[in-house]
Structures are given as C-alpha cells and as structure tokens.
Structure 1
C-alpha cells in the first residue's frame, strides 16, 4: 500500500472518530469549569470574571457541538473515500 493510501485511510479513520464522538462520547458530556467538574445549578466565571456561564448554558453549548462534529466527520469520511477511489482508478489506469 502506498503512502497516499495510508494517508487516505488515516483521514477516514479521523472522520470515523469524529462521528463516534458525536454519537457515543458526546452524548453524555462532562461539563467542566477549568479543571472542576460542574453539576446542575453551578456557575462558571471566566478568567477575567466578566462573563459567567451556568451549567445549563455550558451543557447546551456542548450538545450543540455534537451535530456539527458529526456532519464534519461524515464529510471527512466521504472525502477520504473519494480520495481512495480516485487513487484506485489512477492505479488501474497505470496498469
């Protein structure tokens, strides 16, 4: 297998990891403020203290990222598949 094929395969695997995160690991995110795990009713003040977020706001932001990461993962897998197939077509044309 050529270096290009390995690169296409690794790109596809990265897309699958993104999809896996969106479907499995992102379903139950651990909400943190810095290094401290937050729970319902907690608030988080950012470094300057000028912006405060509640647990619910942070949870909503984490949940909102799931579909975006999932769609990007699908696009990456699709692109890697396209690259793999086009490389196969080139290999066949060379023979």
Structure 2
C-alpha cells in the first residue's frame, strides 16, 4: 500500500483506512502500539510488537549464551592447566604446615 492521505479529527483521532487496517490485522477496539521513529508515527498491532520483542530477546539470549559458553570453556582450560602444575594450594598449605612443625 502506498501513501494515503488521512485526517485527524477534533478529538485527536486518526482515521486509518480500512485497507491499511486489514493489512496490519487491526480490529475495531483492539489495542495498538504507537512508536515514534525518526519523526514518524509507527502503528502496530500488539501481536506484531510482541513478536518483534521475542525476536530481539531470542537474539540477545543466543549472543549471551555464546559469551557464557566461551567464558566457561576458557575457565575449564585454565583449570585443567592449573591442575597439572606442581604447587597446588593444598600442597602449599601442607608443606607450610610441615615446615612449621620442623621449626617448633
């Protein structure tokens, strides 16, 4: 649908032509979401707005999950390297205790 001329009545109501309402699946009395985008008024059904939010949330969660997985992989690799090194903290504590016993 191309641009259509419409009017705003004395009560501030905007008349949305039937063809546009049908294309947007807007029903009489149904809620809509109005958004100002770059100086333009955007009218969407609540269902369309929710679908967009769900898509954005899914993308965010996928990115977040990838970041968490990368972090966990790095931490596991670091832990594996640390396990193979001599001088584990428990060993250091035990060695310190032995030295303290010898000195007493």
Which structure's CA Rg is the greater one?
Answer: 2
Q: How does the TM-score come out when normalised to structure 1?
A: 0.45
Q: Which has the higher helix share?
A: 1
Higher relative contact order (CA 8 A, sep 6+): 1
